[in-house]
Structures are given as C-alpha cells and as structure tokens.
Amino acid sequence: MRDFTRKEIDAVLDVADDVQRAIQTPYFEATFKQKYHLNQNKFGKELRTIFDNIKLANLFLEKSTRTNFSFRSAVITGHGYAEGFSSPDDTSLKKGETWADTVAQFAGWGYNGIVMRSTTEGLPRWTKESLTRFHELITQQHQEFSLPFSYHVPIILNGGDGTNQHPTQCFLDLLTMRQIARAKGKDLDGLDIALMNDLKYGRTIASLMSVAHHFNFKLHFAHPSRFGPQPHRLEHLAFQGVEYVDHGEKFQEAMAASLIAYHSRPQKERIGKGEDLISIKQLGRITKKMYEMLGDKGPYLMHPLPVDAETFEEIYHDMDLHPKNVTKFQSMNGLYIRIALLALGLDRIVIDEYRQTAQEQYHKTKLIDLPLEGHTKKLDNPRTGFIEHSGIVLDHIPPGMERRLEGILGLEQSQLPIVGAAYIPV
C-alpha cells in the first residue's frame, strides 16, 4: 500500500464505486461508458466486455475463498478468463520445482495478470523481477530463431504475502469505510477507527496502518497482550504523525471511541503450543451483549473474513444478523475493487487521476539517499567475511527478510552489486 499516493487511492476507490453502480444499476452502464475511455484499440468498451481476451492466473500458496474467487469473478464479469491453483499440493511445486519456474510457465502461456498469495514476505515484488528477466531471455530466443513474440510481462497483484500486507483487501476496506462515513455525512478524513484482536501478525491490519496518515485516522487499539502491534509499525505511525491510543484489553472502550471497529482473527498458526486459547478467545469475542451495553456508541463492525468459528468464533453467532455487522457487505466490495484494480493495471480504464500503469507504478521506487562516511572496521574473525572495496553493510537482518528489505530500498532496480553472507555459528 505504500506504493500508492492518496490521490491514486482515491482514484481507485472512485472507479470501484462506479463499477458497483454499473453492475447493480443496469441503466448506469451508459453513464459508465461515457465517463471513461474504455480501451481495446478503440474507445467505448462496455463493462461487461472490459476484459475481452484477458487471461488471469490465480496462483495461491495459501488457501483462500474471498480473494481467490472474487478475482476470478472479476475477470469473468468482464468476459475474461481465469484459471490457477488454490494450493501447491496439485502442482509441480510438490515435485521440487521452483516458484520462479512455475510462474514463468504462466507468463510463457500469455497470461496478462497473476494474482498470488504466499507465506513469504516480499515474494510478489521478487516475482515481478524474476518474470522480467525471463521475458528478456524468451524475447531474445524468439528473435534468434526468427519467430514472432508479442506477450508482455504479466502484472502482479499481491493477494497477501506472509505477515506483510494484503493491499487489495485494504482497498476494499477503505471503500467500505468511505461508504459508511459518507452515509453519516462524513468522509474518510479524520475518522476514529478501532483496530482489534491480532494486531501483531494480521496483514490486513498492517495495510490499514500503512495508509492511516493519508486520511488522518485516529486509531484505537484493543488486543490480547501477546497480540499487540509490532514496534516497527508503531514507529512508522509516529513518523507519519498518526495519533493512536492503545486501550490494551479494553475492547469496548476502543469500540465506544470509534465509528468503525475493524476486527481480526487470531493467527492460530502463530500461536505456540500450550498457550491459553480460552483467554484469547474470550477477550477477542464480539457479542450481541457487548453491543447492547454500548448502545448508541456501538461502531460498525468490519472483519476481513473468514471468522474462525472452529477455534475462536471472534464474532459470535448471535451477531450474524446484527445491523451494525457489515462484514458481508464489506466482502462484497472485493468484486468491485478487484475489477477496478485489474482494469486500471491492464489499461482497460485510463483516467487522468491514475495515469500510471501497474508496471510504471512498480518502477516508482527510488533509492533512499543515505549519508555515507568512510569507515574501516577490523574484523575480529576474518573468516566470517570481508569487504574488499567501499560499500554498505546491513547487519542483523532476520532470516526471510532479505527480499523484503531489497524491495523497500528499491535495490531491484539498481545496478549495485549485492552480496549476502550467511550466519556462521560460533
């Protein structure tokens, strides 16, 4: 989400709003067609055929219902084609094939976009780099053999990468929040938002935190003690000037202070064996009785879904039909947002507020200007490695964070030599 400016976020939300109206209000189609240049060689493309000749591959290394099938539905709604897999179990990944070789196949078959979900932070960004290099090689080989070749590098859409972010979910969350706020005579700016339950590992929470400064949100945290927000996210909020209040385990206090309460399920795959699941369950459960006690101060309840009814039931079943429970309404917005993102990323909609394509947007990352001084360090144990020439050392990088750090610094776009050193135990 940090790749997007406020202006670009608003543009995506506006397109999604118009997509919803075009789908749900038949007569609106004509207005939609006039408002945008809908482009497939000629202008005037209708929404129902906006994805003609588009092929989308959903490649999911973690199981998913909403993200996976709303993207499929988005392409089908616009008369495109969607295919893919929901886990690596039925693919050659189980035979030891690399991820790079797997995605290269789909690019080689002419897929225009790849939606992916992984457990590895930063993998979507790395995938883009890998496919760019693959495309250069395949193009050269076709030229060498005097064969035509017209496929492009597919756009990459991040359907969630580890504990990092879930950007398309964040877009649909912001769309839902804006719709709620506008119905109450407000807008996104200056809202009080409660973020609740698993603030440590939840990637949807992380995405919302990363854009809070764009909208001057005041955040109210409520969570079991071991699921508090990670320090680096709090540091980012402070750096961006975002006001927040940590209510600790006082969920109702945070809810009473907010127009919208964004709940999340505990990531049970992150919970250690022998932990007190009952206490975590009781603290994080939202019930009808809580809303009765809150009265008029009860916020609209959002949740990225699914609710973990098997272990935590963090939204109790007596809230299923409560008027303030907008979780199903929220999830329906995923279709409109994902149509908008695909149409913008594939240049099927071009608007003044969002001129850059998905590929151009990706290349906006700039190297951070670092103040450098010459410094010589005598190593106590030369066997652990050395720097032969001038350079920058980034020390104590946690395992699995190398690619993410490379993406944050924009180093994929540089020509700098990058050398990694493995940890050598004493």
CATH code for the domain of 257: 3.40.50.1370
Domain that residue 302 falls in: 167-330
Contacts of residue 168, Cβ cutoff 8 Å, sequence gap at least 6? 67, 157, 158, 159, 334, 337, 338, 341
Cβ(13)–Cβ(342) below 8 Å:
no
d(CA 249, CA 339): 38
Question: Is the domain of 174 the same as that of 228?
Answer: yes
Residue 424 pLDDT > 50: no
Q: What is the mean pLDDT of the chain?
A: 82
Asked whether residue 231 is domain-assigned, the answer is: yes
Mean pLDDT in residue range 249-259: 96
Which residue did the predictor score with more confidence, 382 or 69? 69
Question: Is the domain of 119 the same as that of 235?
Answer: no
Residue 28 pLDDT > 60: no
Mean pLDDT in residue range 36-42: 38
Whole-number percent of the chain with pLDDT over 70: 75
Question: Is the domain of 324 the same as that of 338?
Answer: no
How high is the pLDDT of residue 276?
A: 58
Asked whether residue 1 is domain-assigned, the answer is: no
CB atoms within 10 A of CB 407: 22
**pLDDT-wise least confident of 35-44, 184-193, 221-230, 396-405:** 35-44
Question: Is the domain of 185 the same as that of 91?
Answer: no
Question: Is the domain of 265 the same as that of 231?
Answer: yes
Which residue did the predictor score with more confidence, 377 or 243? 243
Mean pLDDT in residue range 59-79: 91
Question: Is the domain of 240 the same as that of 303?
Answer: yes
Residue 392 pLDDT > 70: no
Question: Is the domain of 222 the same as that of 304?
Answer: yes
Cβ(61)–Cβ(153) below 8 Å:
no
Residue 294 pLDDT > 60: yes
pLDDT band at 160 (very low <50, low <70, confident <90, very high): confident
Q: What angle do CA 271, 276, 280 make, to 5 degrees?
A: 75
**Residue 181 backbone dihedrals phi, psi, to 5 degrees:** -60, -45
How high is the pLDDT of residue 100?
A: 92
How high is the pLDDT of residue 352?
A: 60
How high is the pLDDT of residue 265?
A: 83
Mean pLDDT in residue range 89-107: 92
Asked whether residue 186 is domain-assigned, the answer is: yes
Question: Is the domain of 203 the same as that of 259?
Answer: yes
Contacts of residue 296, Cβ cutoff 8 Å, sequence gap at least 6? none
Question: Is the domain of 315 the same as that of 181?
Answer: yes
Question: Is the domain of 304 the same as that of 276?
Answer: yes
pLDDT band at 210 (very low <50, low <70, confident <90, very high): very high
Residue 401 pLDDT > 60: yes
What's the total number of domains in the chain? 3
The model's pTM:
0.78
* Short-list 249, 194, 193, 197, CA closest to 227: 197
Residue 365 pLDDT > 60: no
How high is the pLDDT of residue 355?
A: 47
- Residue 186 structure tokens: 């407000």
Cβ(236)–Cβ(262) below 8 Å:
no
Q: Which of 19-23, 294-298, 396-400 has the highest mean pLDDT?
A: 294-298
Question: Is the domain of 38 the same as that of 84?
Answer: yes
Question: Is the domain of 153 the same as that of 217?
Answer: no
Residue 325 pLDDT > 60: yes
Asked whether residue 326 is domain-assigned, the answer is: yes
Cβ(259)–Cβ(294) below 8 Å:
no
* Short-list 165, 233, 159, 237, CA closest to 203: 165
Q: In what order do the strands lie in the sheet with 300-302?
A: 243-246, 218-222, 192-196, 260-262, 300-302
Whole-number percent of the chain with pLDDT over 90: 53
Alpha carbon 388 to chain centroid distance? 39
Mean pLDDT in residue range 73-86: 93
CB atoms within 10 A of CB 371: 4
pLDDT band at 266 (very low <50, low <70, confident <90, very high): confident
Contacts of residue 88, Cβ cutoff 8 Å, sequence gap at least 6? 61, 94
**pLDDT-wise least confident of 214-223, 243-252, 390-399:** 390-399
Which residue did the predictor score with more confidence, 365 or 408? 408
* Short-list 122, 81, 123, 72, CA closest to 102: 123
Mean pLDDT in residue range 391-417: 65
How high is the pLDDT of residue 90?
A: 85
Asked whether residue 116 is domain-assigned, the answer is: yes
β-pair partners for 114: 57, 156
Q: In what order do the strands lie in the sheet with 155-161?
A: 81-85, 55-60, 113-118, 155-161
